Each structure stands twice: as structure tokens, then as C-alpha cells.
Amino acid sequence: PENHQRIEQIKSDRQRLINQNNKVLDTDQLPIVLYQGFSIHGNEPSGSNAALLYAYYLAAAQGPAMEKALTESVILLDPSFNPDGLQRFSTWANMHKSNKINPDPNDREYAEVWPGGRTNHYWFDLNRDWMPSQLPESQARIKTFHQWYPNILTDHHEMGTNSTFFFQPGIPTRTHPLTPKLNQELTRAVGRYHARALDKIGSLYYSEEDYDDFYYGKGSTFPDIHGGVGILFEQASSRGHAQESDNGILTFPFTIRNQFTAALSTLEAGIALKKDLINYQSDFYHQMRKNKGSDEVFLIQDTHDTGKLKAFLALMDRQHIQAYRLKAPVRIDGQSYLPKSTIAIPKDQTQSTLIEAMFERRTQFQDSLFYDISAWSFPLAFNLEHTSARLKDLELAEQLNPEHLNTETNVLNKSYAYILEWEDYYSPKTLNYLLENNIRVKVAMQPFALGKQNFDYGSLMIPAHNQEKSPDEIHNLM
């Protein structure tokens, strides 16, 4: 109750910890922030079912230990990272189970058909979207993350039925070089609490095998680039109510018990290591401020597709990366970068390490094997013209947000026809809008020119006349 009464102050202090010198705060008085999330893959249900027990425990348990834990922590509890996928899977398992539970792995209950419950409503894997943040669930989650910057974020998953229980750290040689070594040391320190808790209940487990800490777009690694500690849990899956495995019959309640135990040991570790974890995060951002002086600026441009450029800027905005407009054109390596079509992103800002992670082109690796992808340069992914420059060679204007790239064309009334170029990301959506309004649209099958302006294949021509609507109505649509 005490923390609830001052929750906005705690949130404000978290922002000060990230954005200002850590000496202005007494970090000993700050509560630790735990972000505990479950079952981002919907057909890995033990996490979400354990989350309900964990929430009840936090609300109902009494005694000095629980009072201390709740006083010294803020717990962000997301019981179902992927409710749509979880619903699909639970429907399948409950619909296809036998009246008498059949643990035979060949039983229909354990053979979920495509698309299954792993993905979200749109059939995307949400656990690759923490950094791109393209999906609605991810965007809401990222907003919460940047409000709090959790010290520990846990990500409860399931794996093959014949396995046991995994917790991080992962394979040491597959840790991203931008992740500080102290992060991995703290991850191991947290892991010792998981090991003790699982020992008490007699569950098998392992660590530092199979999984890695490389791609920052996963829930277990995204905190690592923000001064936090990400923890992946992988529980052997019953994939239903009870299934035969190499370790005997694996029941759904058993999988829930392990996940519940790991949730509790996370809280225990967070309270015990509170000072170390908060100081680590404070030092992580303090070191970036101390190392200020990098005058590298990334320039991102698209002269034809404002929609794509706006989508890229929206991604930067979601990740709290500051972007600016150029004050004047600049020419670099024979390429002109214009103020109206260029985004300038200085590396010298709070999220400098995240910027480096998102923009780098890494071609050398300590290990030759990866659990996930090994390269993800975002300018290349968006197919945008890009380069880097020095701040001393540029003049930056105002800070940008996505609304600044909204463009309106002065459409002349009483026109003979209207022409839309096809390069923009939203051109198909525009065409669909016109067709839904019963507008006849012509398509250019070869390049052409009007005066000094050239138009390419696929340009759309909308005649103002010979339509079901009047020229004035068409003008209003345009």
C-alpha cells in the first residue's frame, strides 16, 4: 500500500535515474522494479497459469518477509503476454483431450494444428518484436517498459517435453558484445536463487546451455541493453494435461509449479540483490553520460516514400530515441541529404547503446552458432538510404516526431485528372480507398513525363470526369 500511494513519485525517480546523474538520487531508498511476464507464446501455457497463483500469493501472503518484499519492490505483472494465442491453445487442448487423460504423445491433444497458439492474433511471434515493436501488444508493452526501466524482466516459456527447466544465463560465447560483463555476473547471481528454490522441490534444471543472449528483440535480452537483467525461463512442456516424457509422465500442474517457484525466486533474488541491481543500472546510464563526446550522427533518408520514413521515425519514438530535422542540405559521399526527407539521429543521447545495437552492421562473432538471428540493422531492414556524419559538419533543427512528417498536397480543384505515384508505403491503401468509393483508377504501364516531372511504372491516374461521382466530390476525396 505504501508504494501504491507514491507510485507516480517512484516512476518519476526511475526516469531521473536513467536521465540524470545518479548522485542526485539516494539509490538505497529506491524500490527495485520487477517486470514479470508470462507465456508470450500462447501454446506454452504453464507460465500464464502460474501467474494467477503468483498474483494471489502476492495479495494474500502475510508476514514480515512478504511485507519487506512488497515495500522494497514494484512488481509489473503481465499474466499473459499473448492472450489470443493462449486462448487458441487452451481451446484446442480442452476440446481434444480424452475423457480419461491419455499421456500418449501420439494423442490428438498434443498435435495442435496450424497456426497453433504460439503466435498472436496476426500470426506473428511476439517474442521477436521487443525491439522492432511493430505489433499492438508490443507497442503497449514497450510503453510500459520505458516508463519504468525494470531492473529484472522475466520471460516465462516452455520447451520440448523431454527437457527439464532452464534459466539464464545462456551459452557464454553467444552473448552480445554490447552487453556488459557485469550483466552476466548479476544474471548468474539471480540464477543461484532459482537453483536453490528448484532444489527444494526436487525439480531438475540447467543453465548456460542451449539458449543465448544475443538478439535484443527478445524479452529476455531487451533489458540487457537498458541496464537491466533479462531472465529467460524454459519449462519442459506437457503441451496439454499430461504427456509421457523421458523423465516420466509430465503433468500440467507440475509445469505450473516450476514456473510459480521461479516467479517467487525472482522476487527473492530481486530483494536480496536490490542494491547491486539498482546501482548497476544507474552506473550503466551514468557511464554513457560520462562517455559523451561521440559526435556521430546517423542520417536516414527516403526521397520518395514518406510513409516508410514516418514508420521508421515512429519506431525511434517508441524506443525513446531522439531524432532531428536537418537545418540545411548536406552532401556526403556524393549523396545529397535534404531537410524535408532526412532524419538525423545523434548517437550522443540517453539511448546511445540501443542506437548502436539497432544500427550496427556486425560481421564478426565469437561463436558460429546462434539460437536466433545474428544481424538486424534497422536502416537496412527498412531499405532506407543511410550514412553517418559528424555533428560538427551538420546543423540540426527541431526535434522530430512522426506527426512532423505528415504531408498534405495542395490539390487543385477543377483538375482534368489526378496522379499518384506508387512509391509510397501507403499507396496500396490509398488505391483501396479510391476503389471502395467506386472511383475509376488507371495504371501507367510505362514511364511518362508531365512537363519536367517524371512518373514511373505503376503511377495511378484518377480522371476527374467520366466517374460516378462529380468532379467536386472527387476533389474532396483527393
Using CA atoms, how far apart are residues 256 and 51, in angstroms rounded to an integer? 9
Question: pLDDT (tens digit, 9 = 90+) per residue, 437-468?
Answer: 999 999 999 999 988 889 999 999 999 888 88
Report the chain's mean pLDDT, rounded to a whole number.
92
pLDDT at 245 over 60: yes
Sign (positive/negative) of CA torsion 281, 285, 286, 288? positive
- 412, pLDDT greater than 80: no
Q: How confident is the model at residue 128 (pLDDT cuts 50, 70, 90)?
A: very high
The pLDDT, as a whole number, for residue 22 is 55
The answer to whether the CB of 108 falls within 8 A of the CB of 96 is yes
- Across 85-110, average pLDDT: 96
pLDDT digits (tens, 9 = 90+) for 36-62: 999 999 999 999 999 999 999 999 999
Whether the predicted pLDDT of 75 surpasses 60? yes
Q: What was the pLDDT predicted at 199?
A: 98
Output the nine-digit C-alpha cell for 5: 500511494
How many angstroms separate the CA atoms of 115 and 41, rounded? 12
- Partner residues linked to 213 by β-bridges: 175
Give mean pLDDT, residues 175-185.
Answer: 96
Residue 360, C-beta contacts closer than 8 angstroms, at least 6 positions apart:
377
Tell me what pLDDT residue 291 has.
64
Residue 399 φ then ψ, to 5° = -70, 140
Question: β-strand 335-337 against 296-301: which pairing, if any?
Answer: unpaired
Q: What is the pLDDT of residue 408?
A: 62
Q: What distance lies between CA 322 and its chain's CA centroid?
A: 18
What is the pLDDT confidence band of residue 76, given thresholds at 50, 70 and 90? very high
Q: Would you say residue 21 has pLDDT above 70?
A: no
The arithmetic mean of pLDDT across residues 258-269, rounded, is 98
| pLDDT value for 24 | 60
Q: What is the pLDDT of residue 414?
A: 67
Q: In degrees rounded to 5, what are phi and psi of residue 328? A: -150, 155
Q: What is the pLDDT of residues 220-231, one digit of tens each?
A: 999 999 999 999
* 3-state helix/strand/coil string of the chain: CHHHHCHHHHHHHHHHHHHCCHHHCCHHHCCEEEEEEECCCCCCCHHHHHHHHHHHHHHHCCCHHHHHHHHCEEEEEECCCCHHHHHHHHHHHHHHCCCCCCCCCCCHHHCCCCCCCCCCCCCCCHHHCCCCCCCHHHHHHHHHHHHHCCCEEEEEEEECCCCCEEECCCCHHHECCCCCHHHHHHHHHHHHHHHHHHHHHCCCCECCCCCCECCCCCCCCHHHHHCCEEEEEEEECCCCCEEEECCEEEEHHHHHHHHHHHHHHHHHHHHHCHHHHHHHHHHHHHHHHHCCCCCEEEEEECCCCHHHHHHHHHHHHHCCCCCEEECCCEEECCEEECHHHEEEEECCCCCHHHHHHHHCCCCCCCCCCCCCCCCCCHHHHCCCEEEEEEHHHCCEEEECCHHHHCCCCCCCCCCCEEEECCCCCCHHHHHHHHHHCCCCCEECCCCEEECCEEECCCCEEEECCCCCCCHHHHHHHC
